[in-house]
Amino acid sequence: MRILFTINPGTATFTCVVPLAWALRTAGHDVRVASQPLFADEITQAGLTAVGVGRDLGVSRLVDAQGESDEEREVVRRGLPWPYHVVEQPSNADWHGLLVAWHHTVQHAKFEVFAMASSLVEFARHWQPDLVLWEPFTPVGAIAAKACGAAHARLLHGVDVFALARRHFQRLEARQAPKDRGDPLAEWLGGYARKYGAEFTEDMTCGQFTIDQLPPGLQVDADDVHYVRTQYVPYGGAAVVPKWLHTTPERPRIALTLGTTATEHFGGYAVSVRDILEALSDLDIEVVGTIAQSEQEKLGRIPDNARLVPYVPLHALAPTCSAAIHHAGFGTLSTFARYGVPHLVLPYHFDEPILGHKLAEQGAGLAIDPADTTGDTVREGVLRLLNEPTFSKEAGRLRDEVHATDTPNELVGRIEELTTKYRTR
């Protein structure tokens, strides 16, 4: 088969795609990855074949900080933006507000999809993929699939807030009088579908099937979405394991990692790294912090029991850790979960609060709202993770749940069956 991935040009998104792309390739399928031309080097560095489509716009403004002032940026940064906020607050959703939010979201997406659509469709019609796999920030993949008769599916990299928000929208719309109804997403996608000889169908919003990399205990499924689950396999790009990871730590090792989005898009972390390091400085532990160099320069003196590095491959660090402090980002949380490490999460951006609280409900860790995070609360949480066996037990249970799920290689056969079922040529 020929399989085309469509990817938003963001490293955190792309790394979640690579293991499945390689599983399909090593099963004998021809795999291409389409993104903006600026992202070609990152794709090819992973050993995959890149297809540059459209023009360079950078990371999707659906995930970037929208707003000019610090206050506006902070509103976007904290939790889910509109219209996805309805997932956390369904009882507070009003039809007018949600309709306006969807119009706003579509307006942001229009510019990006317009820049990619014609080029992607042209390539898809030429190359004739059997399957188009698109992650939620590149719905243009569904448009290209419709244009060439390919099957298409979403590949998730987090909580499915996209389908959940869509279902809430549809329920509210159904309650409105016909004259008050409206569906900006369907109208927008339908316009593109008709341009290329097809009609809008609901699968263009959520895929004909959806590949989910979260274990069921951490996901919130949407109604009527066909989920196919696979393990999250960590991939962080080109990396070298440092020599200090060649030996077993002499003391309990605690990872501290707060993600790249904080520094790339928001100019800093949501919590004080200095306060955390100081609060842990007198404990008989080793703290390994993956802290951006620009942030390290602001810290001043580093405690003796802390080692700070700009980057280390998390799948090499995680097996050596007794606990991890992190932001509940999908890739970070999934990596530590894979190795049975108890978590202390400080969730803040997009779906992180949902993931963090689901993790705490599973008993595999603790979640602290960043607004309540101090050095003392982090210290208390770390001590609980180290001294209360239930956290290690439940983290081990979550690890076993992850490993009981099909690997990307084991999923290939199911993907082949679904492709045959859904393609129209």
CATH number at residue 111: 3.40.50.2000
From residue 254, give the alpha-carbon distance in Å to each of 20, 156, 349.
Answer: 30, 29, 22
- Cβ neighbourhood burial of 197 (10 Å; 0-12, 13-18, 19+): exposed
pLDDT at residue 50 is higher than 60: yes
Average pLDDT on 153-161 reads 96
Does this model's pTM top 0.85? My answer is yes
Does residue 93 lie within any of the structural domains?
yes
Residue 373 in contact with residue 346, Cβ under 8 Å? yes
CA distance 356 to 329: 9
pLDDT at residue 127 is higher than 90: yes
**Residues 205 and 70 occupy one common structural domain:** yes
Structure letter (DSSP) for residue 222? P
The length of the chain, given as a count of residues: 425
**Residues 22 and 36 occupy one common structural domain:** yes
pLDDT of residue 64: 44
**Residues 19 and 165 occupy one common structural domain:** yes
Does residue 356 lie within any of the structural domains?
yes
How would residue 315 be classed by pLDDT, with cut points 50, 70 and 90?
very high
Average pLDDT on 320-330 reads 96
**Cis before 303 (ω within 30):** no
CA distance 249 to 106: 50
The torsion angles phi and psi of 353, rounded to 5 degrees, stand at -60, -40
pLDDT of residue 384: 98
Does residue 71 lie within any of the structural domains?
yes
Average pLDDT, the chain: 90
Type of residue found at 300: G
CA distance 141 to 345: 33
388: CB partners within 8 A, 6+ apart: none
CA distance 234 to 333: 11
**Residues 310 and 321 occupy one common structural domain:** yes
User: Above pLDDT 90, what percent of the chain?
Assistant: 73
pLDDT at residue 78 is higher than 80: no
217: CB partners within 8 A, 6+ apart: 358, 362, 398, 401
pLDDT at residue 268 is higher than 60: no
**Residues 95 and 204 occupy one common structural domain:** yes
The torsion angles phi and psi of 96, rounded to 5 degrees, stand at -60, -45
The torsion angles phi and psi of 5, rounded to 5 degrees, stand at -95, 140
Type of residue found at 31: V
Does residue 331 lie within any of the structural domains?
yes
Report CA 46 to chain centroid distance, whole Å: 18
Does residue 238 lie within any of the structural domains?
no
Does residue 9 lie within any of the structural domains?
yes
Give the DSSP per-residue string, 200-237.
Answer: --THHHH-SEEEE-S-GGG--PPTT--EEE-------S
CA distance 84 to 163: 9
From residue 215, give the alpha-carbon distance in Å to each of 23, 104, 230.
Answer: 19, 32, 8
**Residues 289 and 192 occupy one common structural domain:** no
**Residues 136 and 90 occupy one common structural domain:** yes
**Residues 179 and 277 occupy one common structural domain:** no
pLDDT at residue 118 is higher than 70: yes
How would residue 420 be classed by pLDDT, with cut points 50, 70 and 90?
very high
The torsion angles phi and psi of 154, rounded to 5 degrees, stand at -90, 150
What's the Rg (C-alpha) of the chain? 22
How would residue 112 be classed by pLDDT, with cut points 50, 70 and 90?
low
Structure letter (DSSP) for residue 350? T
Does residue 333 lie within any of the structural domains?
yes
Query: Pairing state of beta strands 253-257 and 286-290?
Result: parallel
**Residues 300 and 359 occupy one common structural domain:** yes
How would residue 88 be classed by pLDDT, with cut points 50, 70 and 90?
confident
**Residues 309 and 210 occupy one common structural domain:** no
| Greatest mean pLDDT range, 8-12, 284-288, 292-296 | 284-288
Q: What residues make up the domain containing 36?
A: 2-231+405-422
CA distance 217 to 233: 17
284: CB partners within 8 A, 6+ apart: 251, 252, 305
Bigger pLDDT: 287 vs 270: 287
The torsion angles phi and psi of 311, rounded to 5 degrees, stand at -160, 145
**Residues 211 and 360 occupy one common structural domain:** no
Does residue 236 lie within any of the structural domains?
no
pLDDT of residue 57: 75
How many domains does the structure of the chain reveal? Answer: 2
pLDDT at residue 151 is higher than 70: yes
**Residues 78 and 148 occupy one common structural domain:** yes
